[in-house]
Amino acid sequence: MRPLAALCLTTALLSSPAFAQEAARETSAFTLSSGTPRTAEQLALRFDKADLSFKLLPETQSLEGVAVLDFTATASTAAVVVELDAVFAIAAVTVDGQAVADWSNPEGRLTIPLPRPLKTGETASVRIVYAGRPHQAKRAPWDGGFVWTTTPDGQPWIASAVQGEGCDLFWPCIDHPQGEPEQVDLHITIPSTLSAPANGRFLGKSDNGDGTTTWNWTTRQPDTYAISLNVGPYVEMAADYHSRFGNVIPLRFWRLASADPAKAQRLFDEFPQILDFYEATIGPFPFGDEKMGVVETPHLGMEHQTINAYGNGYKLDGKGYDWLLQHELAHEWFGNQLTNADWDDMWLHEGFGTYMQPLYARWLNGERAMQAELQTMRLTLANRFPVVSGQSQDAATVYHDKTGPALDLYYKGALIAHTLRLYIRDDAFYESLRRLVYGRADPKPGNFQPRYATTREYMAIVNEVTGRDLGWFFDAYLYQAALPDLVMSRQDDQVTLEWKTGNGRPFPLPVEVEVDGEPLALPMTNGRATFTAPESAHILLDPGSKLLRRLEYLEAWKASQAKTN
């Protein structure tokens, strides 16, 4: 636990001429994006641990922070480089206890020269003392940052949500998907009337005797944007889940004290059944030695590792489950256990995570429920940008509909997963997901660690599991913006079907048709098939809605919607 005195950054200290530069007035465009290429210095370091102390001040909507960052050199380097929003005033920087005065933080990329260069295998501990008003979210979680508000009964209610903008909005980090520290310890000091649930395992709290209390947590290998601060007048709900894998997982829900207890209990009762679905479908809950945690927030939601944000207001919508709780929990597998190596691979998080929703609908309520959700997703597709570009991207690019796939990451990704599952069948599909998520086909508690993966790696996994080269499938669906088009032509009693793709390459995805109600399966060798049917016959393509493909009637509808808007 860090001394509380370390958090007492006085006004005099913050205005000291010892600062290398003044704090910026506004957050830079660099800081507001996440996942820009790492520097050579960052690539030369392994991030061993972040020990983060925060004092949150609701009255001024500001924080005081002390970050102790431990690194091991994997190659020689003369500096440590991290990202930290330049709106914070930095009071002191030390390396292994030695003060560093010539640090610089232009645009929020903080460069700290080392007193002596590190050689491979050597370590350094960097301590950064800073304070200020963190960037406020305009519309969390979509335009992220801090949310400072009050509960219905007027008490402070604070949350962070920084997925698109990155961890550097409030702590010094390597703001890249592959910047995960091996361990993060959190010490959160708040008014004693409030609670501060956070990531990982609870290590206890201490009363500081000045009207504040410090809450202490520890977590392993967290996604960088998953580190989360949540403060409010919470009531903790607790239970244990006895997993099908033999371990016992703590279930925790921090609801507002002003929330309807019956509605909160109804939501809490969903925890074990959703968890059972994921464990049965994908594999062990990745953080069972910590907790499955959820906290009520003033924004809609976010997948913060072991402390998912929930702001759906306990709404019923006819699905038979809370969609937000179910979706955010998916990211414990697709996001936190498995982390995309680059933002260009974000569909691995959002596409597979979103596909878990219709699969869960079927698990609960049958085929009709699943198809209803898939159809709702199908209506959203834009198809303006490929789901995967094949080049390194940052978060701002992939999530903005003017520059990247945006919502297609979610819904097109899910529909691609659905078509793939039906094509390669359940056994191969779910094995491919287990290998993707855990790095092995036989995951059990204790035999896996969080990992990174790429789209290309998943393609290789599918090829290995199926024993076939399905590059043509992924090329057409992921790397082309346009959907494959199934074109039918008729000449007398001869009917021809042909797949046309965005790049014109062969696409031999089998097709099912009905001819006057009679089923017919077509292998589509080289992307074409011909069959005989009477000229008067009614031909229905893909009667089971198994294929993600271009549909002209939906394009016409979307065009009409665009005109009216």
Q: What tokens were used for 543?
A: 């009667």
For the segment 156-196, what is each residue's pLDDT rounded down to a tens digit? 999 999 999 999 999 999 999 999 999 999 999 999 999 99
Examine the domain organization and report whether 560 and 452 are in the same domain: no
Mean pLDDT of 248-266: 98
Per-residue pLDDT tens for 100-159? 999 999 999 999 999 999 999 999 999 999 999 999 999 999 999 999 999 999 999 999
Sign of the four-CA dihedral 87, 393, 550, 349: negative
Averaged pLDDT, 84-90: 98
Same domain, 468 and 489: no
Phi-psi region at 277: left, alpha or beta (left = phi > 0; alpha = psi -120 to 50): alpha
pLDDT of residue 28: 97
Residue 542 makes CB contacts below 8 A (sequence gap 6+) with: 486, 511, 512, 513, 549
**Tally of domains in the chain:** 4
Tell me: do 378 and 272 sit in the same domain. Answer: no
Domain stops at, among 450, 478, 506 = 478
Query: Which among 183, 201, 231 is the end of a domain?
Result: 231
Q: Bigger pLDDT: 14 or 82? A: 82
Confidence band of 4 (pLDDT split at 50, 70, 90): very low
pLDDT surpassing 80 at residue 547: yes
- Residue that wins the pLDDT comparison between 132 and 565: 132
Determine the pLDDT at residue 565.
73
Across residues 191-207, what is the average pLDDT?
98
Q: SS3 of 526, please? A: helix
Peptide bond into 141 cis (omega under 30): yes
Whether 217 and 207 share a structural domain: yes
CATH number of the domain enclosing 306: 3.30.2010.30
* Average pLDDT rounded to a whole number, residues 419-444: 98
Final residue of a structural domain among 200, 231, 262: 231
My answer on whether 177 and 68 are in the same domain is yes
Residues 141 and 289 in one domain: no
Residue 21: per-residue pLDDT: 62
The parent domain of residue 536 ranges over 485-564
Residues 353 and 367 in one domain: yes
Mean pLDDT of the chain: 95
How many Å apart are CA 284 and CA 536, to the nearest integer? Answer: 54
Q: Which pLDDT score, from 0 to 100, does residue 561 have? A: 87
- 238 plus 225 within the same structural domain: no
Residues 41 and 148 in one domain: yes
Of the listed ranges 6-10, 192-196, 297-301, 498-502, the one predicted with least confidence: 6-10
Which whole number is the average pLDDT over 348-376? 98
pLDDT band at 456 (very low <50, low <70, confident <90, very high): very high
Percent of the chain with pLDDT over 70: 96
* Domain at 39, CATH number: 2.60.40.1730
Q: Which tens digit of pLDDT belongs to each residue from 8-31?
A: 443 333 334 334 467 888 999 999
DSSP string for residues in 429-478: HHHHHHHHHHSSSS--TTS---EEE-HHHHHHHHHHHHTS--HHHHHHHH
State how far the alpha carbon of 116 is from the alpha carbons of 78, 113, 202, in Å: 7, 8, 37
Res 13: pLDDT: 37
pTM of the model: 0.94
| Average pLDDT score over residue span 329-340 | 98
**pLDDT at position 16:** 40
- Predicted pLDDT at 24: 85
Q: Where are the beta strands (DSSP E) in 246-349?
A: 248-256, 292-296, 301-302, 308-310, 338-340
Predicted confidence (pLDDT) at residue 3 exceeds the cutoff of 70: no
B/e letters for 214-231, b = 16+ CB within 10 Å, e = fewer, are bbbbbbbbbbbbbbbbbb
Q: Residue 542: exposed, middle, or buried by beta-carbon count in 10 A (0-12, 13-18, 19+)?
A: middle
- Residue-wise pLDDT for 513-525, tens only, equals 999 999 999 999 9
In this prediction, residue 562 has a pLDDT band, given cuts at 50, 70 and 90, of confident
* pLDDT (0 to 100) of residue 429: 98
Domain check: are 391 and 436 in the same one? yes
346 and 471 share one domain: yes
CATH of the domain at 345: 1.10.390.10
Please tell me whether residue 39 adopts helix, strand or coil conformation. Answer: coil
**pLDDT above 90 (res 249):** yes
Would the pLDDT of 254 be above 70? yes
Residues 22 and 165 in one domain: yes
The closest of 224, 503, 472, 186 to 343, measured between CA atoms, is 224
Q: Over the stretch 483-493, which tens digit does the pLDDT of each residue have?
A: 999 999 999 99
> So what's the pLDDT on residue 7?
41
